[in-house]
Structure 1
Amino acid sequence: MNSTKEKVQSMLRKLPDDCTIEDIQYHLYVLGKIRQGLQIADTQGVLQQAEVEGLLNKWLIE
């Protein structure tokens, strides 16, 4: 598995040369949120599509 530093370097290589500090911060933020979501999914599990649709229908009707 790649180290955090290697992942950041890979991300930076994919960004355009004229990207701003804010662009880099945004991409790091998104990657962090994705990693957090995957960790939550691993520990707490995920909902099936039908369960999510049922919850949305309940919430939207109320």
Structure 2
Amino acid sequence: MSTAKAEVASMLASLPEDASLEDIQCHLYVLEKVKRGMERTDSEGAIPHEEVKKRLGKWLDS
């Protein structure tokens, strides 16, 4: 597992040179939310794709 500093360095390296501070903040926010979601999935499990489709069926039918 990489360190927070390494994750941020990798994220910064992937951004364009003209990225604003707001762009960087947004990417950091998303990076943290995804990391927390993955940790929560590991600890609590996740709902299988087919079950999600069944639960959300009335909104997914087009």
Task: Give the Cα–Cα distance (whole angstroms) in 1 for the partners of residues 36 and 56 of structure 2.
Answer: 23
Give 4+ residue runs of structure 1 displaced > 6 Å after superposition.
none
TM-score of the aligned structures, taking structure 2 as reference length: 0.83
Aligned to 1:18: 18
Task: Write the mapping of 1:1-62 to structure 2, written as runs, cut at 5 A.
Answer: 1-57=1-57, 60=59
Q: Secondary structure at the match of 2:39?
A: helix
Task: Give the Cα–Cα distance (whole angstroms) in 2 for the partners of residues 6 and 57 of structure 1.
Answer: 40
User: Higher RCO, 1 or 2 (CA under 8 Å, sep at least 6)?
Assistant: 1
Stretches of structure 1 that go unaligned for 5 or more consecutive residues are none
Residue identity over aligned pairs, in percent, reads 44
Stretches of structure 2 that go unaligned for 5 or more consecutive residues are none
RMSD of aligned residue pairs (Cα, Å): 1.3
Letter in 1 for 2:19: C
What is the aligned residue count? 59
Q: CA deviation at 1:57?
A: 2.5
